[in-house]
Amino acid sequence: MATLRQQIATTALSVTKFRELMKRMRANRPSDDLALVRKAYDFSQKHHAGQTRASGEPYLVHPLQVAMVLAEMKMDAVAVAAGLLHDSVEDTSVTIVDIRKEFGEQVAHIVEGVTKISAIDFATREEQQAENLRKMMLAMVDDIRVVLIKLADRLHNMRTLEHLAPERQQKIARETLEIYAPIAHRLGMGKIRGELEDLGFRYVDPIAYQQIHEAVEARRKAGETFLARVEQVLRDKLKEAGITAKVESRIKRLHSIHKKLVRQRIAVDQVYDLYAMRVITQSVQDCYAVLGIIHNLWRPVPGRIKDFIAMPRPNFYQSLHTSVITEDGTPFELQIRTEEMHKMAEEGIAAHWKYKDGPVSAQDEQRLAWLRQVVEWQRDVSDPNEFLSTLKIDLYPEEVYTFTPKGKVVVLPRDSTPIDFAYSIHTEVGHSCVGAKVNGRMVPLRHKLHSGDIVEILTQPGHKPSRDWLGVVKSSRSRNKIKHWLNLHQRERAIEIGRKLIEKEARKYRVALKEIKDEELQKIASDYGLGRPEDLMAGIGYGKYSARQVLARLAPAGSEPAPEGEGEKAGTIASVVRRVFGGDSSANAIRVKGHGDLLVYRARCCNPIRGEAVVGYVTRGKGVAVHALNCPNVVNLMYEPERRIDVEWATDDGTPSAYPVKLTVFCDDRFGMLKQITAVISDTKTNIRNIEARTANGQANIDIILDIADLKHLENIVGGVRKIPGVHDVQRLQKI
Ligand code: MN
């Protein structure tokens, strides 16, 4: 029994907390029905009276803290009232009927949902767990406020977990890491997710937690000094460039350090992003301009630049990421985003939530759609384990799960493409896949799918798989199917080509292929280390051996090829190849017309882009290299004219594709220059892969790598940049 003194202290504490809550509500949601909140507080106080938590605190503190978390999320009065009442049905004599009578249908409905979820024991046998998760999902779909209250409840319970027995701690912490943190992540709520993860980690793996905690603490002082110094350097530069932005820095969260150490098997000092800085800008343009400034200040770590602005994460997270190394060799990570993106990254689905208008943004709609799909899909699954494993897969990012337009779920390995999706539907769908729409938008076949994507495969009867697909697909099923097809068909074609090439070449010697004895071919095949004459023909067809060389071995000594013009003109291979392959216009990765089955690739020396004049060159064994006609190497490569092959860009079928193109802008080093350049580029909706500037004597060279669709696109950008006052020249660098 609580003494009178304790009761007075309790009341004082609760009253203070309640005042804070009302203050927050008045600030965030002044037009809401705050009398409802007050009534809920009074009700909760009455029914939880005399109850204490494991910490010895009055129980009322818990619903008050939960309500406070919700108020901080800017939730409405209904949600906050439900937060105050969330444990009343479970832990007191109150029933849902009482709540409905006192607070109306909405509050009662939410409290009921939260109560149902609270009754779920996630640590039971797998089957039951699946069923429990299903129930939770259903509750979430019903009203997102249910899950937001549950997350707030879990957050406060985790914050006060120290008071529970170790066994309970373990169980609750594990559940937090396995279920609640991933759900917060999926809903884009970065702030809550981060705190849940750190708290969960502390109890689930106390030893690792302690080690990392100590390692970070040992570096904290030096780290903070370092961050303060680089922050100042960056602030000065931003000011100089006339960019208004907030700069803040932090040491990475313990749980994410831990995950990195485990995943990459490295030491704390090797974590690139132990120190992290965030720049919050006022516009998307400024994000890219800031990226340029940063790369001018410090050396970027190759491969660490990520543009989540152009390509948001599945939970709609947007930011530019880069890691740089300072002159003294310390690496740190930078995230650059706008105020709006920052809000979304921290609060996710709660960021724009207003109940009366329903979910406001299209993104919130999609998040809810994800939940609905999960529930819908589980109805088709008879085996609860299957549901559980797929749900876990979705909460954890090793695999993605995607949907057909009819809502059927297709589980694929991470980074899978529409081709993988097509093959998982049906082998024939895979073979005849020519394009795909993801969430209603056309995407390239190499596009990476994300969980929740709705994928529609476009097929064309008679279309054939391409060898390039092997570099694109992720699932072993599609790889096997493609390989199988290629082995079956491509070899046949290669043999056919090889035969034709030999025949053509033989004609120059005035010999018909028929006259060549099998034994002779067999002998040459053996010379090349091959088993049968077909292997030799296939080798010629694949471009591995030249027909001329093979023929030279066959031709009777002293015989010379007929003079040019009498037999065939130069460009023999070209004409044969084209005829045999029949000008198939299949969607090749680089989409060069006429050679669907030949391995075709863009030459590294000149990186031609769509729309440019190009020429093909049959290499030995590597397929056809496509060069820009003005590539300096073309002249040298053409000394064997028969290897030259006519190529052209396939007609645009609407499938977006982009090639990295490097430009150097020569300009005055003046105020706002970088900003104007990135403005021109972002006006054309072009993805910037990298931007770096070098300055000297009032002049600047800015290197930019862009994703360019075609020549026209490139000319547009170059033209636009050239018009900026102070820009002297823009050059395209052939080599990237
Ligand atoms: Mn609770």
Give the predicted TM-score (pTM) of the model. 0.54
Tell me how far the alpha carbon of residue 76 lies from the centroid of ligand 1, in angstroms: 19
- Select which of 33, 90, 127, 653 is catalytic: 90
DSSP-derived secondary structure for 398-459:
TEEEEE-TT--EEEEETT--HHHHHHHH-HHHHHTEEEEEETTEEE-TTPPP-TT-BEEEEE
Tell me how far the alpha carbon of residue 152 lies from the centroid of ligand 1, in angstroms: 9
Q: How far apart are CA 60 and CA 630, in angstroms?
A: 78
Tell me how far the alpha carbon of residue 342 lies from the centroid of ligand 1, in angstroms: 29
Q: How far apart are CA 567 and CA 582, in angstroms?
A: 23
Tell me how far the alpha carbon of residue 148 lies from the centroid of ligand 1, in angstroms: 12
Tell me how far the alpha carbon of residue 254 lies from the centroid of ligand 1, in angstroms: 26
- At 162-175, the pLDDT tens digits run 999 999 999 899 88
- pLDDT recorded at residue 731: 86
- Residue 90 annotated among the catalytic residues of the structure: yes
Q: How far apart are CA 61 and CA 48, in angstroms?
A: 10
Q: How far is CA 699 from CA 284, 484, 665, 728, in A?
A: 26, 57, 11, 10
Tell me how far the alpha carbon of residue 150 lies from the centroid of ligand 1, in angstroms: 8
540: its two tokens? 């010629």
Q: How far apart are CA 536 and CA 514, in angstroms?
A: 16
Tell me how far the alpha carbon of residue 91 lies from the centroid of ligand 1, in angstroms: 9
Tell me how far the alpha carbon of residue 85 lies from the centroid of ligand 1, in angstroms: 9
- pLDDT recorded at residue 566: 37
Tell me how far the alpha carbon of residue 372 lies from the centroid of ligand 1, in angstroms: 25
Tell me how far the alpha carbon of residue 153 lies from the centroid of ligand 1, in angstroms: 5
Q: Are 60 and 45 in contact (CB under 8 A)?
A: yes
568: its two tokens? 């065939």
Tell me how far the alpha carbon of residue 361 lies from the centroid of ligand 1, in angstroms: 30
Q: How far apart are CA 536 and CA 421, in angstroms?
A: 36
Give residues with Cβ within 8 angstroms of 650, minimum separation 6: 585, 587, 588, 591, 592, 593
Q: How far apart are CA 391 and CA 374, in angstroms?
A: 8
Tell me how far the alpha carbon of residue 126 lies from the centroid of ligand 1, in angstroms: 25
Q: What backbone torsions phi and psi does residue 398 show, to the nearest 5 degrees?
A: -70, -30
- pLDDT recorded at residue 6: 65
- pLDDT recorded at residue 396: 44
Taking the CA of residue 565 as centre, how many other CA atoms within 13 Å lie in the half-sphere pointing to its CB?
1
Q: How far apart are CA 89 and CA 207, in angstroms?
A: 38
Tell me how far the alpha carbon of residue 87 lies from the centroid of ligand 1, in angstroms: 5
Identify the segments of the chain with pLDDT beneath 50: 1, 355-359, 393-394, 396-397, 557-558, 562-595
Tell me how far the alpha carbon of residue 5 lies from the centroid of ligand 1, in angstroms: 26
Tell me how far the alpha carbon of residue 559 lies from the centroid of ligand 1, in angstroms: 95
- Residue 668 annotated among the catalytic residues of the structure: no
Paired strand residues for 403: 409, 454
Tell me how far the alpha carbon of residue 98 lies from the centroid of ligand 1, in angstroms: 19
- At 636-691, the pLDDT tens digits run 565 556 666 777 776 555 555 677 888 989 888 888 888 889 888 888 888 888 88
Strand order in 688-696's β-sheet?
688-696, 699-708, 659-668, 727-733
Tell me how far the alpha carbon of residue 62 lies from the centroid of ligand 1, in angstroms: 7
Q: Where are the alpha helices (DSSP H) in 528-608?
A: 533-541, 547-554, 572-581
- By three-state DSSP, how is residue 612 classified? coil
- Select which of 91, 231, 376, 415 is catalytic: 91
- pLDDT recorded at residue 569: 39
Q: How far is CA 196 from CA 87, 135, 152, 171, 207, in A?
A: 20, 22, 10, 14, 18
Pick the closest to residue 51 from 88, 21, 79 (CA basis): 88
Q: How far apart are CA 387 and CA 356, in angstroms?
A: 33
Give residues with Cβ within 8 angstroms of 164, minimum separation 6: 54, 172
Q: How far apart are CA 467 and CA 471, in angstroms?
A: 8
